[in-house]
Structure 1
Amino acid sequence: MSLQLPSPRVQPPLDENFRPAILANQNFQREVKSIGVRLVLGLERSGGEFSRFETVVYPEGHADFESNFQYVERIVKFLLWQRGGHTLYVGGSNKIAEYLQKVYSANGAKNFDYKFMGEQVYEKEFSVVACKVDEVPASRETGKLLGRNLQGHRIGFDLGASDRKVSAVVDGTAIYSEEVVWEPRKHNDPEYHYREVMTALKTAASKMPRVDAIGGSSAGIYIDNRPMVASLFRGIPQDQFSEIKNMFLRIREEMNVPLEVINDGDVTALAGSMSIEDNGILGIALGSSEAAGYVNTEGHIMGWLNELAFAPIDYSPNAPDEEWSGDKGCGASYFSQQCVFRLAPKAGIEIPTDVTDAEKLKSCRKNWKLVMKEL
């Protein structure tokens, strides 16, 4: 039995098939509330970090039990790309655990997530563990205190899919900035990416008498300054990807200064926290892809993956396929320039072909202004 997919009260005029995940999940919880049983999901990450999520599902033997499968699988998918994890604990239902073991396997429907969470991100095989509710380990999320110091001579950079940006900053004031169009996804030589980043850093460094520290942001999953999964580097052959994983460690050694690279969603949250001088901040970065970050009430970045480009937000069977993972209804198709390219034709905006994504976006902005004038 499939989940019921309520229509939104306000229908998107350019996306009439949109069926928000939140409405389907809320409807499921209303239906199961009086008869539901607890289900606890746990995700173990590197360094002993552990996240928990509790919900309620139909009990085994109920006529609607199989509707649990889609409901829980979509939540697991979201949690994997929000929190991350190499081991999934399913406490409370062996049958649901068995279903997830089949789906998140080398030959399962979600083999993309199985491979990336296992081999790519955490460099170990992804696994699903069936257990009792009280056997799911306790939550352990320490986070990391990062940044907040603007004194001295610093370089900040951002790597996007359409352009790369860099700034030279002295005591919190930017004295030089540049934005350079590039197309990293089309290049399969790791040295190309290394040279581009080094060129940006050395250009910024030339504007200051010294460099005290470097901070960078980029779409993708970064663990200890190592890009584990990132759309920027999709063109790199797997047998050469270790050069990309170690690229920023190499750059840090050559620049001989402290260097930190984190997900651009975390950077957004950190910048927001510093700007308003408060904690408990959610940051959202909508660009060539989609990311989110969170600074907790203690001012710590949580160490979550925050790669919400792959998180499902539309449960419609007619939802667009995400170009990389092949899954339907993922965030990147709705909260990034990919959404602009997808829906622009429905708004009467023609997108040029055989040009860079940056040029496509520029054309959309120009044509959108013309459309609005006509209205």
Structure 2
Amino acid sequence: MTIQVAMKCVPELDPEFVPAALWNREYAKLAAADPGKRNLALCVERANGCVSRLDTVVLSDSEANRPLTLRYVERIVKFLLWARGGWKLTVAGAPELVPALAEIYSPEGARKFDYAVIGKKIYDHPFTVTGCAYEAAPAAKEIGLKLGGHFDGCRIGFDLGGSDRKCAAVIDGKTVHSEEVVWDPYFQSDINYHIEGIVDSLKRAAAKLPRIDSIGGSAAGVYVDNQPRIASLFRGIPEEQFESRVRPVFLEIAKQFPGIPFVVLNDGEVTALAGAISIGKNALLGLAMGTSEAVGFVTPEGTLTDHLNELAFAPIDYREQNAPVDEWSGDAGVGALYLSQQAVGRLAKRAGFDFPAGTPLPEQLKLVQKAMENDDERAAKIYRTIGSYLGYAVGHYAMFYPMENLLLLGRVSSGKGGSIILDVARDVLAKEFPELKVEFHIPDEAFKRHGQAVIAATLPEL
């Protein structure tokens, strides 16, 4: 048994794309028509006993159905692990899936990256898979956190990306300094490169303030108590130095500013905060298309959660052959390859651009943006394709997030190209997911480029 999907808004440079939302929709139709269908709960436990739970319906257990159901469930598990986080997965209602998932998420399995990172590295527990009856599934237990939105005093905010670092100085909510410095942190093997760059930006901002009351930061990766557990910015540091040099990096930087509150959050969370504060609305997914894909979510109640929201690793393309593969995690079809400057680089050749060998992705993006400003149809095709990706991704994200608003940030969304992306994404939602009432927002250019640094400055409470 196989599933075929028909798109109403085919990405013109990538017609083989298989939207996760449409594939799951077709699977749900098959399951609904199956007399032997079963209720299934997928529960992931993380720190402090918190549990996220997703309930669905799967096909009856048969040799013919098992491959399809395993693919359906495994892709949802992968999404849950990076959207919610958790070191323990409970599969409630389909016992035949437990051994298969345990093998996939094992030290030698197809998802060995996820096994290693989502378990010991982030949560200090070995990742485990267990099963139980549907009726015995753990109940959901979630928490909300109120952070950010503090504008009083003299504050510094920074935002660390893969191609530049931004830093802002803010006095009682007014930005008095904002700058962007190009850097190349990804493959630097000496942590001092990162430390010196960050401290330099902080000191340049400090020079614009009469005093420093607090420092807030935004950076890609997973952060617990200001310590990176996984972060692409430090990928060049030898693994054996991660615990001793990378984890305490912001604690060491904070020592240079003694007595000053210092908070670092995932850049996706700061994106979401920026959106909620700037437009005055909650139930908001903030999505930054930059070096990678950064996502954060502000709940309908206006709080953040302890969820990971690392959707760069979450799958949105279910094609089984020829899907682009993330060179870090080894998985195919994940968000970073479709909703970031990596997507621009991947699509540029198909669009007809011929960049010199070795042209860095940030430079490729700049050249595509320049072409778009001149109404180059090649660039327009790239942006229309990414817009289609985004529309279908939002359709899939709605399975996991009760969102009413989406704020789009990041370099890829700048200029004329950003408007094209949003127009196409809205068209996808209207044609494929009319039941979703998601309002898209895009800030002005200055806010898109520096808004995260400014909002990061509001994180600490004085």
TM-score between the two structures when normalised by the length of structure 1: 0.95
The 8 Å contact of residues 30 and 59 in structure 2, kept in 1 or not, is answered as no
RMSD: 1.7
Q: CA deviation at 1:226?
A: 1.3
For residues 277 and 120 of structure 1, the distance between their equivalents in structure 2, rounded to whole angstroms, comes to 36
Q: CA deviation at 1:87?
A: 0.6
2:262 to 259, 283, 307: 259
Aligned residues: 374
For residues 355 and 303 of structure 2, the distance between their equivalents in structure 1, rounded to whole angstroms, comes to 42
1:358 maps to 2:362:
yes
For residues 204 and 51 of structure 1, the distance between their equivalents in structure 2, rounded to whole angstroms, comes to 40
For residues 214 and 356 of structure 1, the distance between their equivalents in structure 2, rounded to whole angstroms, comes to 31
- The alignment partner of 2:22 has SS state of helix
Q: CA deviation at 1:373?
A: 7.0
Cα pair distance change 1:199/1:68, threshold 3 Å: same
- The alignment partner of 2:318 has SS state of coil
The amino acid that maps onto 1:136 is A
- Tell me which residue corresponds to 1:268: 271
- Tell me which residue corresponds to 1:37: 38
- Tell me which residue corresponds to 1:192: 193
- Tell me which residue corresponds to 2:49: 48
- Tell me which residue corresponds to 1:334: 338
- Tell me which residue corresponds to 1:68: 69
Higher mean C-alpha displacement, 109-118 vs 256-265? 256-265
The 8 Å contact of residues 345 and 361 in structure 2, kept in 1 or not, is answered as no
- The alignment partner of 2:141 has SS state of coil
Higher mean C-alpha displacement, 193-202 vs 58-67? 58-67
- The alignment partner of 1:66 has SS state of helix
For residues 301 and 253 of structure 1, the distance between their equivalents in structure 2, rounded to whole angstroms, comes to 27
Higher mean C-alpha displacement, 349-358 vs 28-37? 349-358
Q: Which runs of 5+ in 2 are unaligned?
A: 381-462
- The alignment partner of 1:186 has SS state of coil
* Matches for 1:104-253 after TM superposition, within 5 Å: 104-242=105-243, 243-253=245-255
The amino acid that maps onto 1:124 is H
The 8 Å contact of residues 351 and 363 in structure 1, kept in 2 or not, is answered as no
For residues 71 and 101 of structure 2, the distance between their equivalents in structure 1, rounded to whole angstroms, comes to 10
The amino acid that maps onto 2:298 is V
For residues 259 and 49 of structure 1, the distance between their equivalents in structure 2, rounded to whole angstroms, comes to 26
- Tell me which residue corresponds to 1:78: 79
For residues 302 and 101 of structure 1, the distance between their equivalents in structure 2, rounded to whole angstroms, comes to 27
For residues 140 and 202 of structure 2, the distance between their equivalents in structure 1, rounded to whole angstroms, comes to 39
The amino acid that maps onto 1:271 is A
The amino acid that maps onto 1:219 is A
- Runs of 4+, deviation exceeding 4 Å: none
- Tell me which residue corresponds to 1:322: 326
Q: CA deviation at 1:62?
A: 6.5
For residues 156 and 213 of structure 1, the distance between their equivalents in structure 2, rounded to whole angstroms, comes to 9
Q: CA deviation at 1:184?
A: 0.4
For residues 56 and 190 of structure 2, the distance between their equivalents in structure 1, rounded to whole angstroms, comes to 45
Cα pair distance change 1:371/1:352, threshold 3 Å: farther
- The alignment partner of 1:54 has SS state of strand
Q: CA deviation at 1:232?
A: 1.2
The amino acid that maps onto 1:17 is E
- The alignment partner of 1:164 has SS state of strand
The amino acid that maps onto 1:19 is V
For residues 99 and 188 of structure 2, the distance between their equivalents in structure 1, rounded to whole angstroms, comes to 40
- Tell me which residue corresponds to 2:312: 309
Higher mean C-alpha displacement, 79-88 vs 4-13? 4-13
Q: CA deviation at 1:254?
A: 2.7
Q: Which runs of 5+ in 1 are unaligned?
A: none
TM-score between the two structures when normalised by the length of structure 2: 0.78
The 8 Å contact of residues 37 and 58 in structure 1, kept in 2 or not, is answered as yes
